Amino acid sequence: MISSYLKAGKIVSKVRDDASKLIKDGMPVLELVNHVEGSIRSEGSEPAFPCNVSINDVTAHYTSPPGDKTLIKEGDLVKLDLGAHVDGFIADTAITVAVGDADERCYVMMDAAREALEDALATIRAGVEVGEIGRVIEEKIHSHGMKPVANLTGHSMDRWILHSGLSIPNITERNPHLLEEGDVLAIEPFATDGVGLVTDMPETHIFRFLRDRPLRLVHARRVLGRIKEEYHALPFAQRWLEEYFEPKRLNASMRMLIQSRAIYPYHVLREKSGALVAQWEHTVIVEKDGCTVITE
């Protein structure tokens, strides 16, 4: 188990660092996500979820839909969030890149999120209250004159489960739950100069298997079977399924699967006031006197 976590962490660290150097004005987002996901596979693992490329006020859950024409532009603040798994053991990491001649506030936000992550990691050990991590993150982000995003959190992970029940806050809150040795956590501060809240957008490009359901369409049953077999309970992108299914029929089946609650759609999230957001993230394994960061 530990060796699988370490292998997944090493892979996503390498892919993250390599991909962050490719981000530039005029780059198609679809090219970036395909590069990241392809690199994860070529390194000997599988994506734990679709590569997220969230730009400016878009905060999370954006991955390219089929045929995406979105381009990265000069001055954009790009959040690159990626994960890999080895036999279901997951490593999750994120970085923010300012493209070209970005506004100075972008760099302040980036510093706030990165330093908040560093302070949080220095706090983690067995026996620490979860609420203490949120306090440390919020204080560091406030020290830069920014706000944490209050309704986004880090999370615990388990085999084949990206969000396994424990939320790690980015703000001060009373949470006396104590970390335990062996916990696997994704710590991910978000910093903004907006109101510090995210809201749903209409778009959904990432999905997750929920349950088997009685379905009228044979094609929808086939799609659901493929999803269950290929991705277990991990998030996936519709564009991944186009390798197996014709796009027009796939669209109809996906609508049915959502309506029947066989799969869960993740809405793209944006900062409520339209402000820029920066993100930094590492995965850690909690130890008695500290933690091992597997995505450094």
CA distances from 135 to 188, 203, 281 (A): 14, 32, 17
- Residue 146 confidence (pLDDT): 98
- pLDDT band of residue 17 (cuts 50, 70, 90) is very high
Q: Is residue 87 a known part of a binding site?
A: no
Q: What percent of the chain has pLDDT over 70?
A: 100
| CATH architecture entry for 204-268 | Orthogonal Bundle (1.10)
143 has a pLDDT exceeding 90: yes
Catalytic residue list contains 183: no
Mean pLDDT of 13-25: 98
The catalytic position among 37, 57, 76, 92 is 92
Catalytic residue list contains 37: no
294 has a pLDDT exceeding 90: yes
Mean pLDDT of 167-190: 96
**Nearest by Cα to 206 from 240, 230, 232:** 240
Q: How many CB atoms lie within 10 A of CB 218?
A: 9
175 dihedral zone (left: phi>0; alpha: psi -120 to 50; beta):
beta
| Strands across the sheet containing 147-148 | 147-148, 190-192, 277-279
Say if pTM beats, i.e. exceeds, 0.85. Answer: yes
Catalytic residue list contains 92: yes
Retrieve residue 208's tokens: 């997750």
Catalytic residue list contains 282: no
- pLDDT band of residue 258 (cuts 50, 70, 90) is very high
- pLDDT band of residue 57 (cuts 50, 70, 90) is very high
**Rounded Cα gap, residues 6 and 119, in angstroms:** 22
**Rounded Cα gap, residues 26 and 106, in angstroms:** 19
- Residue 120 confidence (pLDDT): 98
- pLDDT band of residue 53 (cuts 50, 70, 90) is very high
Q: What is the pLDDT of residues 86-121, one digit of tens each?
A: 999 999 999 999 999 888 999 999 999 999 999 999
Give 144's Cβ-side CA count (13 Å radius).
Answer: 25
Q: Is residue 81 a known part of a binding site?
A: yes
- pLDDT band of residue 1 (cuts 50, 70, 90) is confident
Better-predicted residue by pLDDT, 102 or 256: 256
Domain parsing of the chain, residue ranges: 2-200+273-293, 204-268
E runs forming strands in 87-150: 89-98, 147-148
Domain 2-200+273-293 classification at class level: alpha beta
Catalytic residue list contains 163: yes
Q: Is residue 188 a known part of a binding site?
A: yes
Retrieve residue 11's tokens: 């892979």
- Residue 235 confidence (pLDDT): 98
Catalytic residue list contains 203: no
**Rounded Cα gap, residues 77 and 206, in angstroms:** 21
Q: Is residue 46 a known part of a binding site?
A: no
DSSP state at residue 80: E
Q: Is residue 44 packed enough to be buried (19+ CB in 10 Å), middle (13-18) or exposed (0-12)?
A: exposed
**Residue-averaged pLDDT of the chain:** 97
Retrieve residue 99's tokens: 């493209």
Mean pLDDT of 204-222: 96
Please say whether the dihedral angle defined by the alpha carbons of residues 189, 192, 198 and 204, taken in this order, is positive or negative.
Answer: negative
Retrieve residue 5's tokens: 């976590």
Q: Is residue 92 a known part of a binding site?
A: yes
Mean pLDDT of 144-171: 97
CA distances from 59 to 39, 41, 280, 288 (A): 24, 25, 12, 33
14 has a pLDDT exceeding 90: yes
The catalytic position among 188, 193, 271, 282 is 188
